[in-house]
Chains A and B, each alone.
Chain A
Amino acid sequence: MGRTGCRSTIPLVADASSNLLAARNQMAFTLGFHIVLASLGVAFPAMMLIAEWRGRKRDDAEALLLARRWSKVVAVTFAVGAVTGTVLSFEFGLLWPEFMRRFGGAFGIGFAIEGIFFFLEAIFIAIYIYGWDRLSPRAHLWSGVPIVLTGIGGAFSVIAANAWMNQPQGFSLGTDGTVTDVQPLDVIWNPATPYEFLHMLLAAYMVTGFLVASIYAVGMLRGRRDRYHRIGMAIPLCVAAIATPLQLFVGDTAARAVADDQPAKFAAIECIYKGGDDQTEYLGGICTDGKVKYAIGIPGLDSLLVGFSTDTDVTGLNQIPDNEEPPARTMLHLSFDTMVGIGTALMGLALWLGFLLWRRRTVPDGKWFLRAVSVSGAAAIVAMWCGWIVTEVGRQPWIVNGFMRTEDAVTKADGLWWVYAFTVSLYIALGVAAVLVVRTLARRWREDEGGEVPYGPHGEEPA
């Protein structure tokens, strides 16, 4: 499957392979949209709290103003993220009814736990925003802590559900193919949960940190080099710069775990056609006809990375049954390389920041540094998308690794391509509207006007 999907006409009547591709596209697109908002929902509150803490502690009016404004952006992105997340809940049923029927009893547990965190986060965001003028400074700062914790808890429970699809355990299969004898704790604590969770949590902090910093860096490049912009860039950038080296370590560990636990996925992302020791690490290139073309090959490095020795045996695609090989291997390979490449570049940016802070003891504002920061946000998002392509496409043809094929899970409904086309148009319109709204907010703030946001008390905007 896969390559024949881009047809010139949209099929009106469902057939299994066409539906499969449409449903996978739909899921990938809506998840890609949601994950950016979800990252902001997980990590932005921490930066908002750091700004408030600094503002209170040092009587820093600019930091306090930033915290107040960021809380409004958190409200808008959380409100939109809640909606795109609800859409994903519907899609589990609309697109994958067979998957849910057979595995919902195990797969769903993480989401049940997530429900609590999601609910608490919504409530405490509202409390925080209402509390600006209704709670004492100390109480208000504390009211933000549950937002940070519930964001982390929510990320953990959803990622645990995804990790379970990669490393399913904690159940038996009944005669009708549905799960029986579920052990909820084993489902949640499957082998992939720790590294997938940490990897995504750090990704959320990197995406948010670099993204927010990039907005203020652009402002500074346009001449708004006041203290407000400097702090606005410095806080998220420092958080992201701390997360980045941790991420390189966690990502490296995750890749080794994938090589052990999900050898087919690892073989596909590294384009290893023939298993064995002394594997070449290929950078870039196209995976075709049993070899990697146009790549930079470093002999033995792949084995070295997987097992700290060139003697390490690495599974190749030749050891995977033909009908269990992941599709679209060039895309997988390049996605993986792009993610690692961007991560490494962001590590360079973090080191650059550290060096400048060490030497000059002030927020850097050189033109090239600001330019680098201003593209870092988009780059971090691309890296995160690539990571999700690796983990999701790399698991194919399975929806539950080793237990259920994705083609057996998909709906038989008609018109999926139409729904997909409509969803893409709608989400693009929403995305454009979201950007315009945030820009409107920013412009109004520059003009020192007030403005209302969702959750906000009515008609209150002290500067």
Chain B
Amino acid sequence: MSKPDAAAATLWIGATLYAVFAGADFGAGFWQLPGLRGKDREAVRLRIERSVAPVWEANHVWLVFMLVILWTGFPDAFSAIFSTLYIPLALAALGIVLRGAAFAFGKVVEGNARRRAGVLFAVSSVLTPFFMGTAIGAIASGEVPAAGGGDPTASWTGPLSLLVGALFVASGAYLAAVFLVRDSWFAGELDNARHFSRCALGAAVVAGALAAAGIPVLHDDARFVYDGLTGPGLPLVIASLVCGLVALGLLVRAMRRGFTARISFLVRPAAVGAVVTVIWGSFVAQHPYLLPTSLTISDAAAPGATLTALLVVFGAAVVLVLPSLALLYTLSQRDALK
């Protein structure tokens, strides 16, 4: 593996972690949208807050990680993307600000202000991944020229962009619902488990429909990626499909049994697998391009020493961050010392 490819792989690792953890985080916000909170709104809200709170910030830093890898390791691509897609990216940044504010302040205030903060949190949790998705869709469909300065509006409002934006929202909602089913079940909240199972099924159907609708659009608007996904990326696409179906099957089985038996531990890995395989499918499909088909990974790459520095930093991050995260996770699962 060449050095630029290795650096690009760290970018995809960041994207994977961001899509899974922050995606689920956004999804948790999605399920707080008015009208989606089910019968017992308060119980649903509490469950979501309890599940999201502990690792919120840790999720968020993956985005910064990706931005830094992109601008340091692939400055040409970073510049091209931001000088073309500045509208959706600025809107995503706005969503991040509003979401963070609603989250940080919403826990402290009470009454009406807390409800309003909840709605703001939910709405910004939908807008942020949507606009990020439109940007990814624009890149896939070749709307970002290597030199930057592409069409600021038409580039990200095509059918593929809108589809990918919607798919980002739906897959986050799906992941969150699956996580929340498990959390609810472990906390003995059977009503919540039922509620979130229905949510997960709904989101899975929508995400599946969007993905299916994406096939012809991909064929027309992003031929290179389409060929990649149906060629070298096909095993990963099939794996995604299998994972998605397994997760669905396990959920349906648990619902049929009325959540009396233990939910299979496989349900989370299967749901996560469905998302992760698609992301790596895209890596395989668009290789050797970073911006299909205008800029390759090696053409966009920064000088070799910079990439080495990035890879060293990445290695250090893995060595330092993983044990710390494990410690936090253990601690958050542990009961208070009395």
Q: Are A85 and B64 in contact, with the CB atoms below 8 A?
A: yes
Q: Looking at the complex, which of B82-90, B173-181, B202-210, B273-281 is the stretch in contact with chain A?
A: B82-90
Contacting pair B78 A412 (CB below 8 A): no
Taking a contact as CB atoms under 8 Å apart, the answer to whether B302 and A97 are in contact is no
Residue from A80, A113, A134, A440 in contact with B336 in the complex, judged by beta carbons closer than 8 Å: A134
Does A454 lie within 8 Å of B104, measured CB to CB? yes
A101 contacts B56, CB within 8 Å? no
In the assembly, what is the distance between CA of A124 and CA of B69, in Å?
23
By beta carbon, the residue of chain A nearest B108 is: A437
A105 at the interface (CB under 8 A from B): yes
Residues of B within 8 A of A179 (CB): 302-303
Number of interface residues of A (CB under 8 A): 78
Q: State whether B321 touches A87 (Cβ < 8 A).
A: no
Q: Which chain A residues lie closer than 8 Å to B302 at the CB level?
A: 104-105, 108, 179, 182
Q: Given the interface contacts A86-B64, A440-B109, does A458 sit within 8 Å of B328 by beta carbon?
A: no
B6 within 8 A of A: no
User: Which B residues are in CB contact (< 8 Å) with A130?
Assistant: 54, 328, 331-332
Query: Max chain A CB contacts within 10 Å: which of B67, B86, B308?
Result: B86
Taking a contact as CB atoms closer than 8 A, the residue among B50, B89, B305 that contacts A184 in the complex is B305
Nearest CB of A to B161, in Å? 18
Residue from B64, B103, B336 within 8 A of A133 (CB atoms): B336
Report the nearest A residue to B335, measured CB to CB. A134
Nearest CB of chain B from residue A393's CB, rounded to whole Å: 24
A440 and B309 in contact (CB under 8 A), knowing A100-B79, A119-B321? no
B71 on the A face (CB < 8 A): yes
Q: Say if the beta carbon of A388 comes within 8 Å of chain B.
A: no
A45 lies within 8 A of chain B by Cβ: no
Closest to A108 in B: B72
Is B81 in contact with chain A by the CB < 8 A criterion?
A: yes
CB <8 Å contact, B100 and A182: no
Chain B residues positioned under 8 Å from A97 (CB to CB): 78-80, 82-83, 148
Whether B261 sits at the interface, judged by CB under 8 Å, is: no
Bound form: Cα–Cα A122–B65 in Å: 13
Complex partner residue of B57 from A79, A89, A101, A183, CB under 8 angstroms? A79
Pick from B237-245, B246-254, B284-292, B310-318 the stretch touching chain A.
Answer: B310-318
A261 to B146, CA, bound (A): 37
B47 to chain A, nearest CB (A): 11
Find chain A residues with CB under 8 A from B332 CB. 126, 130, 457
CB contact list, A199-245 vs B, under 8 A:
none
Q: A115-B65, A123-B321, A130-B328 are in contact. Are A82 and B57 (CB under 8 A)?
A: yes
* Cβ B306 vs Cβ A87 within 8 A: no
B89:A94 contact, CB within 8 angstroms: yes
- Asked if B107 and A452 make an inter-chain contact with CB atoms under 8 angstroms apart, the answer reads yes
Binary per-residue interface labels of chain B (28-49) against chain A in the complex, 1 for a CB within 8 Å, 0 otherwise: 0000000000000000000001
Write the A112-131 contact mask toward B (1 if CB under 8 angstroms, else 0).
11111011101111110011
Q: Which of A79, A120, A434 has the most CB of B within 10 A?
A: A79
Closest CB in chain A relative to B309 CB, distance in Å: 4
Taken together as a complex, chains A and B put the C-alpha atoms of A430 and B332 apart, in Å, by 29
Q: How far is the CB of B90 from chain A (nearest CB, A)?
A: 6
Q: Which residue of B lies closest to A114 (CB)?
A: B68
Docked-complex contact B83 and A90, CB < 8 angstroms? no
**List of B residues within 8 angstroms of A87 by Cβ:** 93, 96-97
A296 interfacial contact with B, CB 8 Å? no
B324 at interface, CB cutoff 8 A: yes
Output the residue of A86, A126, A133 with the most chain B CB within 10 A: A126
Please give, as numbers and ranges, the residues of chain B lying within 8 Å of A189 by CB-CB distance: none
B60 in the interface, Cβ–Cβ < 8 Å?
yes
Nearest A residue to B313 via CB reads: A112
Among candidates B67, B76, B306, B337, residue contacting A109 with C-beta atoms closer than 8 Å: B306
Bitwise interface map of A from 415 to 456 toward B, beta carbon under 8 Å scored 1, else 0? 000010000001000100110010011000000000111111
Distance to closest chain B CB from A106 (angstroms): 7
Say if the beta carbon of B1 comes within 8 Å of chain A.
Answer: no
A104 touches B78 (CB 8 A): yes
CB pair A104–B93 under 8 Å, yes or no, is no
Bound: A452/B81 CA distance, A: 39
The answer on a CB contact under 8 Å between A101 and B68 is no
Closest CB-CB distance, B130 to chain A, in whole Å? 16
Contact B313 A104 (CB under 8 A): no
Whether B54 and A89, one on each chain, are in contact in the complex, defined by CB atoms closer than 8 angstroms, is no
Q: Which of B56, B108, B317 contacts A441 (CB 8 A)?
A: B108
Judge whether A86 and B321 touch: CB under 8 Å: no
Alpha-carbon separation in the docked complex, A101 to B148 (Å): 10
CB pair A413–B328 under 8 Å, yes or no, is no
A134 touches B337 (CB 8 A): yes
| Any B CB within 8 A of the CB of A253 | no
State which residues 90-107 of A face B: CB under 8 Å: 90, 92-94, 97-98, 100-107
Is the pair A105, B90 in contact by a Cβ cutoff of 8 Å?
A: no
CB of B305, distance to nearest CB on chain A (Å): 5
Separation of A100 and B83 alpha carbons in the complex (Å): 11
B159 at the A/B interface (Cβ < 8 Å)?
A: no
Chain A nearest CB: distance from B154 CB in Å? 14
A30 to chain B, nearest CB (A): 10
CB within 8 Å of B: which of A114-164?
Answer: 114-116, 118-120, 122-127, 130-131, 133-136, 146
Is A401 part of the contact surface with B, judged by Cβ < 8 Å?
Answer: no
* B53 x A455 contact (CB < 8 A): yes
CA distance A149 to B33 in the complex (A): 40
The 7 listed contacts between A and B (C-beta, < 8 Å) are A76-B104, A90-B82, A122-B60, A134-B331, A146-B324, A182-B309, A411-B83
Q: Which residues on B are within 8 Å of A, measured CB to CB?
A: 49-50, 53-58, 60-61, 63-65, 67-69, 71-73, 75-76, 78-83, 86, 89-90, 92-94, 96-97, 100-101, 103-105, 107-109, 148-149, 152, 302-303, 305-306, 308-310, 313, 316-317, 320-321, 324-325, 327-328, 331-332, 334-337
The 10 closest A-B pairs by CB, nearest first: A108-B72, A93-B82, A104-B75, A105-B302, A101-B79, A83-B100, A97-B83, A133-B336, A184-B309, A79-B104
